[in-house]
Amino acid sequence: MSQGPSIPLQPWQVIVGGICGLVLSIGLARFAFTPLLPSLQLQTGLSDAAAGGLAAIHYAGYITGALASAWIDDVRWRHRLYGMGLWLSLLSVAGMALSSAMPNWVLWRYVGGLCGATGMLLGAGLVLGWLMRQGRRPELGVHFIGLGLGIVVSALGAWGVLQYWPLWSHQWLAMSAVGLLFFIPAWFWRPPVPPATSVGTASQAFHKVSRRWMFTMAGSYFAAGWGFVINATFTVAIVEREPALAGQGALAWALVGLAAMPAVFLWDKVARRMGDTRALLLAFGLQTVSVILPALSDTLAAAFLGALGYGATFIGIVSLTLALVGRRAPHNPGKAMARLTLSYGAAQVIAPVVAGAMAQATGTFKGALWLTAGVMLLGMALLATLPEEIAQ
């Protein structure tokens, strides 16, 4: 596998390539599951508990990828694995259509999780490293447009395929064709391979982060992962379960992405003005309110406001947290991001299983939403113990 393009890339190409990589590896390999889940359940009899289990399997793959990312020092291997993840992202979407057997779905959701880790951690680390080498502001707001755009693409793509391909397997194949449109620029405009950094230098840079700071951030990021995955997995299902809101699930999911895209710029500006810790506390608080809204009211307004609030805040939490830890380990930001992300991934494995079981037992997601709000408040309490840091 080639190490990267032989022709020097323009800055806009690296940025757009990274965005497209996120759309493919997260927006489709991960998020396509959310808008296609109601159709999958209706046609195959997949239960809420099993759907939560599949989401957990996906994040088990994500954790596996994060573990690998946390220990790989050779930047050339990180670049190779990122490229491999782009190819497997396409296959993981198409593979869902091969069989209605649970082992098939388990396999491809797990592979999709691995791809998500390569896109989110290796890709973000390569882009952030490139920004710092170019003397640009070390922020990931522009890069993480790919998360919001990925949600919009998955929502609109799912809406389109549902109109023309009623069979669930054809829907997944059609979504993989959508993914091909983003694969091409993501592959040809991958961030160039950076200069090799010695293992010793990278390790010394990482160990500048104190244990207390890292454990506190890991605890708060666990809470963020819990809040993220409940909405990422069940937003469409929650809306569709309400008789008065049936048919509006895809629109609610699209609103998540539409809110996320401009929010990445806004959160960078908020952090410059307020400081990273205060900006994160604000994002946590607003997301907690967004989680509670659908539990308080069954109205369309509450569902849409919750979707908008969730989209506008989860993206800020991810972008600010990963950029913050990446700046503390400039010689290998992707490795530092991966170590922190292990806690985020752990929450993403546990939360869908708990939420799915609660919904299966009660027939509603409201209990899971209240639990999620409580977890987010605990994350805020941890963040409040950290000293303030200002983005440079």
Residue whose token pair is 């408040």: 377
Q: Is the pLDDT of residue 201 over 50?
A: no
Phi (first) and psi of residue 124, to 5 degrees: -65, -40
Q: Which tens digit of pLDDT belongs to each residue from 132-190?
A: 676 666 556 677 788 888 888 888 888 888 888 889 999 999 999 999 999 999 999 88
Give the lowest-confidence range in 20-24, 217-221, 266-270, 331-335: 331-335
* Most confident residue range from 224-238, 284-298, 333-347: 284-298
Return all residues near 96 (Cβ < 8 A) that are at least 6 apart.
Answer: 104, 105, 108, 109, 169, 172
Half-sphere exposure of 226 (CA within 13 A, CB side): 26
Dihedral sign, Cα of residue 59, residue 313, residue 318, residue 255: positive
Q: Is the pLDDT of residue 345 over 80?
A: no
DSSP string for residues in 344-391:
HHHHHHHHHHHHHHHHHHHS-SHHHHHHHHHHHHHHHHHHTTSPP---
- Determine the average pLDDT of the residues in 208-222: 82
Banded model confidence at residue 22, pLDDT cuts 50, 70, 90? very high
| 251 alpha carbon, distance to own chain's centre | 19
Position 74 scores a pLDDT of: 75
Banded model confidence at residue 24, pLDDT cuts 50, 70, 90? very high
Give the lowest-confidence range in 19-33, 55-69, 180-194: 55-69
Q: Is the pLDDT of residue 208 over 60?
A: no
Angle at 37 between CA 92 and CA 171, to 5 degrees: 60
Half-sphere exposure of 308 (CA within 13 A, CB side): 6
Classify residue 332 by its DSSP letter. Answer: S
| Residue 236 vs residue 381, higher pLDDT | 381
Whole-model pTM above 0.75?
A: no
Q: Is the pLDDT of residue 392 over 50?
A: no
E-assigned strand segments in 230-383: none
Position 203 scores a pLDDT of: 44
Position 60 scores a pLDDT of: 84
Give the lowest-confidence range in 78-82, 245-249, 292-296, 309-313: 245-249
Position 215 scores a pLDDT of: 86
Q: Is the pLDDT of residue 331 over 70?
A: no
- Determine the average pLDDT of the residues in 45-49: 85
Percentage of the chain surpassing pLDDT 90?
21
* Distance set, CA 85 to CA 29, 71, 79, 91, 119 (Å): 10, 17, 10, 10, 7
Give the lowest-confidence range in 17-21, 39-43, 217-221, 358-362: 358-362
Domains of the chain listed by start with CATH number:
11-191+198-383 (1.20.1250.20)
Q: Is the pLDDT of residue 5 over 70?
A: no
